[in-house]
């Protein structure tokens, strides 16, 4: 009887471990690094982008995403350099939808974007902000990252 009890408790503990690990993997199932370039136009007039940047994105199975953004913001007659590292926590909320929470934003290098422009145009990459993105893999292996308030990003996986 004692062996049966020990076996039963061991099997229950093993099942609990598998369930916890399975749930964690279901919620944090992304593991890739990719790069993209984005040009965003504030109007349909002219050929000058408002926001022109490249980004490197790394999602890990630990539930973190690391994003490095570098480029330019054009505002009126001024050109500002953006060079930031953003760390997100992420969790899966749908079949291909993920909620990202910016936990750390670090301006690096020559970043000189004024605080008022950051608040006005870069709200989704501010500490504490949340965003929901849809992430899908193309047949080529590249990733499409999209949301409702920004450009579609085709991210070349490497």
Predicted TM-score (pTM) of this structure: 0.76
Residues 50, 114: one domain? yes
- How high is the pLDDT of residue 128? 93
- How high is the pLDDT of residue 29? 75
Backbone dihedral angles phi then psi of residue 115, each to the nearest 5 degrees = -55, -40
Tell how far CA 83 is from the center of its chain: 16
Q: Check: CB of residue 68 under 8 Å from CB of residue 99.
A: no
Residues 109, 145: one domain? yes
Backbone dihedral angles phi then psi of residue 20, each to the nearest 5 degrees = -65, -45
- How high is the pLDDT of residue 129? 92
Residues 42, 8: one domain? no
Residues 50, 93: one domain? yes
Q: Check: CB of residue 48 under 8 Å from CB of residue 74.
A: yes
Residues 138, 111: one domain? yes
- How high is the pLDDT of residue 42? 65
Regions of the chain with pLDDT less than 50: none
Residues 24, 81: one domain? no
> What are the pLDDT digits (tens) for 42-69?
665 666 667 888 999 999 988 999 999 9
- Tabulate helix, strand, coil % of the chain (nearest 5): 25, 45, 30
DSSP state of 124: G
Give the integer Cα–Cα distance in Å for 22 and 16: 10
Backbone dihedral angles phi then psi of residue 79, each to the nearest 5 degrees = -120, 125
């Amino acid at each position: 009887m004692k062996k049966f009890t020990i076996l039963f408790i061991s099997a229950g503990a093993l099942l609990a471990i598998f369930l916890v690990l399975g749930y964690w993997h279901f919620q944090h199932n992304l593991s890739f690094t990719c790069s993209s370039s984005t040009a965003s136009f504030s109007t349909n007039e002219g050929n000058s982008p408002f926001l022109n940047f490249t980004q490197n994105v790394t999602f890990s199975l630990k539930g973190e995403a690391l994003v490095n953004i570098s480029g330019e913001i054009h505002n009126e007659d001024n050109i500002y350099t953006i060079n930031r590292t953003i760390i997100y926590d992420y969790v899966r909320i749908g079949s291909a939808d993920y909620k990202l929470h910016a936990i750390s934003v670090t301006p690096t290098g020559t970043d000189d974007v004024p605080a008022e422009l950051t608040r006005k145009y870069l709200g989704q990459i501010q500490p504490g902000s949340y965003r929901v993105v849809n992430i899908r893999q193309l047949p080529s292996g590249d990733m499409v990252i999209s949301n409702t308030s920004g450009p579609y990003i085709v991210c070349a996986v490497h």
